[in-house]
Amino acid sequence: MEIPRDVTKKYPVKQFIQKIRRLADGLEAGEQFTIQIAGERIKVPKHAVVSVEHESDENVTEIEFQITWKNES
């Protein structure tokens, strides 16, 4: 059983761009994508769903790229 995890990790812009570029290349090729976040390697399956979320209030505006999938048991 996996331990629930909720991590936010900030990256320098150059490193973020490298991660997003590898993700885009993997999605375009229809391949699994592996990313390391805060020391944990995460395998994103090729059937994952990608969405973009936008939130805004008077102080902060946020765009969040989300990748979701169901874990296989």
Stronger pLDDT, 55 or 2, i.e. the higher one = 55
Q: What is the end-to-end Cα distance of the chain in Å, rounded? A: 9
The reply to whether the predicted model has a pTM over 0.75 is no
Provide the 10 A C-beta neighbour count for residue 33: 19
Separation CA 44–CA 68 (nearest Å): 8
Q: What is the pLDDT of residues 39-67, one digit of tens each?
A: 889 999 988 999 999 999 999 999 999 99
Q: What is the pLDDT of residue 59?
A: 94
